[in-house]
Amino acid sequence: MSVLLSHIAFSIPIVVLMVLPKLRELSASLIDAARDIGASNLQVLKDVIIPFITPGIFAGFFMAMTYSLDDFAVTFFVTGNGFETLSVEIYARARQGISLEINALSGIMFIFALVLVVGYYFVQRGQSARKTKKRGVTR
């Protein structure tokens, strides 16, 4: 529990730094327009605010995940007996010599991160194309 709480504690500022600029970019007139057409507070949040700040949320998630994997020192000192995180396990095995298991795990983690980044790129590209198409149709 201490590991989870410590990682959450140092990840919150990272996520806030990524999401706050997107919230500041959000125009008040966009929210007012949603309310003018009868949207409730929940609908404004769900259909206007959350989609607008989604890139900031993803950026915060990826940065927090990167820092969490990278922050070995915090994990090493707050881990209790009988509990090991991935970074502590890799460190313990690396002292004995790099094995094929660690190489395979590193490869899997790299491929997973690469798939996430490429997938996010294509999702954003698709959303941009749809927005451009909508603008062309409405004009």
User: For each of the chain's 139 residues, which pLDDT tens digit applies?
Assistant: 777 777 788 888 888 999 999 999 988 899 999 999 999 999 999 999 999 999 999 999 888 888 877 776 667 777 666 666 777 777 777 777 777 777 788 788 889 989 988 998 888 888 888 877 777 655 5
Question: Where are the chain's structural domains?
Answer: 2-97, 99-139
**Cβ pair 56, 21 in contact under 8 A:** yes
DSSP 8-state symbol, 46:
I
Which stretches of the chain are DSSP H helices?
2-25, 28-36, 41-44, 50-70, 72-78, 86-96, 100-138
State the pLDDT at residue 115: 93
**pTM strictly above 0.75:** no
Please give the span between the terminal C-alpha atoms of the chain, in angstroms, as a whole number: 55
